[in-house]
């Protein structure tokens, strides 16, 4: 083949490739999307995840199937999302519990915060300190005094060693000069059941999902809100900051939509837009608010990146303050 013909053949081949590439490239999403929830059905992450799955699938044009992958403080769920084919068809409805705090406190956790990328902030939820219904205390100050005088440490549950629920409880006990017995659970729903049944003495709970209804029903009692502003769902419960030593006891938990950091920008942007399009729907917003969460305001991808990085720094600082050691 002479040089002129060779150049022509290469040019034709290149042109065919350029034309064929768009035809061969699959648009996203090209199949059903899996939404991983790292905790059992019935918890706050599960409730909000299912609300978002229903809302987002209308904008993605594909069904979203929720998959509860439970274990190791939520680490197994995060790992499933992080290690899935990074084409965007596996997303996570995740919180700082499993994304940030579990890697800090659970030696068996293999996920790292930087494995995932935050694409949307669904909502923020107030946290509260709750006690079993027959514990003879009505205020945070009374609770701490009771805990200090108790013959044995009061038991408390959390979603796992190093979880935000665990660290918040330890911080409260530390401020009050009391000790407690930590009992880790695989998710929120199991320890809410035990708190309601009186098997544990107290716990930090999110004012979302089934919790407001359980408080209203008298299954357990909230004695303090860990927030700078009162949540209308438990408006009669005082703020923790009104108690001496708790002026800076201000925590909230957020639920977001995340993907592996390896997911291509185009797919990530599509998911980002679908999530906020869902949150713009009045019915979706109503459902999120009914769960006890405050709907997250729209944020750009750079803003979400900065927010997530700040949350990682905060998590490390809280863990250090209670001398958390991975177990």
Does one domain contain both 177 and 114? no
Angle separating helix axes 164-176 and 301-321, nearest 10 degrees: 40
| Collapsed DSSP state (helix, strand, coil) of residue 151 | coil
CA 307 to each of CA 121, 132, 228: distance values in angstroms, whole numbers, following the listed order: 10, 35, 19
Does one domain contain both 45 and 189? no
Does one domain contain both 148 and 224? yes
CATH for 56 = 3.40.190.150
What pLDDT is recorded for position 26? 58
The alpha carbon dihedral of 230, 235, 236, 237 has a sign of negative
CA distance 61 to 313: 37
What pLDDT is recorded for position 112? 95
Domain finish residue from 191, 213, 242:
242
Tokens of 167: 């660290």
Does one domain contain both 132 and 107? no
Q: Determine, yes or no, domain membership for 3.
A: no
Domain finish residue from 192, 214, 242:
242
Does one domain contain both 73 and 130? no
Domain finish residue from 208, 242, 276:
242
Does one domain contain both 158 and 184? yes
Number of H helices, E strands in the chain: 12, 10
Give the residue numbers spanning the domain of 209. Answer: 126-242
Does one domain contain both 81 and 149? no
Q: Other CB atoms closer than 10 Å to residue 133's CB: what's the count?
A: 15
Q: Evaluate whether 85 touches 53 at the Cβ level (below 8 Å).
A: no
Does one domain contain both 199 and 289? no
Does one domain contain both 80 and 146? no
Element (H, E) at 92: strand 90-94
pLDDT tens digit at each of 327 positions of the chain: 444 333 323 333 333 333 333 332 358 999 999 999 998 888 788 989 999 999 999 999 999 999 999 988 899 999 999 999 999 999 999 999 899 988 988 889 999 999 999 999 999 888 999 999 999 999 999 999 999 999 999 999 998 888 889 999 999 999 999 999 999 987 788 999 999 999 999 999 988 878 888 999 999 999 999 988 888 889 999 999 999 999 989 888 899 999 999 999 999 999 999 999 999 999 999 999 888 788 999 999 999 999 999 999 988 888 888 787 877
Q: Determine, yes or no, domain membership for 25.
A: no
Q: Evaluate whether 10 touches 216 at the Cβ level (below 8 Å).
A: no
Q: Determine, yes or no, domain membership for 264.
A: yes
Confidence (pTM): 0.77
Does one domain contain both 112 and 195? no
Does one domain contain both 110 and 161? no
Does one domain contain both 298 and 222? no
Backbone angles phi, psi at 47, to 5 degrees: -60, -50
CA distance 59 to 19: 28
Q: Determine, yes or no, domain membership for 27.
A: no
Q: Determine, yes or no, domain membership for 175.
A: yes
Q: Determine, yes or no, domain membership for 11.
A: no
CATH for 147 = 3.40.190.10
Q: Determine, yes or no, domain membership for 22.
A: no
Domain count, the chain: 2
CA distance 84 to 144: 45
Backbone angles phi, psi at 212, to 5 degrees: -55, -40
């Amino acid at each position: 083949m002479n040089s002129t013909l060779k150049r022509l053949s290469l040019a034709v081949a290149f042109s065919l490739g350029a034309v064929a590439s768009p035809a061969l490239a699959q648009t996203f999403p090209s199949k059903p999307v899996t939404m991983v929830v790292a905790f059992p059905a019935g918890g706050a992450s599960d409730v909000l995840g299912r609300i978002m799955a229903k809302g987002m699938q209308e904008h993605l044009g594909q069904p979203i199937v929720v998959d509860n992958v439970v274990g190791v403080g939520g680490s197994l769920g995060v790992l499933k999302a992080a290690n899935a084919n990074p084409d965007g068809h596996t997303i996570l409805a995740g919180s700082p519990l499993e994304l940030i705090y579990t890697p800090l406190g659970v030696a068996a956790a293999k996920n790292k915060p930087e494995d995932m990328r935050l694409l949307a902030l669904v909502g923020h939820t107030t946290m509260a300190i709750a006690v079993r219904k027959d514990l003879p205390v009505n205020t945070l100050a009374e609770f701490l005094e009771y805990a200090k005088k108790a013959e044995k440490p009061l038991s408390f549950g959390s979603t796992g060693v190093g979880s935000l629920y665990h660290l918040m409880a330890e911080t409260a006990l530390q401020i009050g000069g009391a000790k407690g017995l930590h009992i880790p659970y695989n998710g929120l729903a199991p320890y809410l059941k035990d708190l309601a049944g009186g098997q544990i003495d107290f716990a930090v709970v999110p004012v979302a999902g089934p919790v407001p209804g359980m408080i209203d029903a008298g299954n357990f009692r909230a004695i303090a809100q860990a927030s700078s502003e009162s949540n209308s769902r438990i408006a009669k419960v005082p703020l923790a900051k009104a108690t001496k030593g708790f002026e800076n006891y201000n925590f909230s938990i957020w639920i977001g939509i995340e993907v592996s950091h390896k997911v291509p920008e185009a797919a990530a942007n599509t998911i980002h837009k679908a999530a906020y399009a869902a949150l713009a729907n009045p019915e979706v917003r109503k459902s999120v608010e009914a769960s006890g969460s405050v709907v997250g305001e729209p944020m750009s991808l750079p803003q979400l990146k900065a927010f997530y990085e700040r949350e990682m720094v905060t998590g490390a600082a809280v863990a250090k303050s209670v001398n958390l050691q991975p177990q």
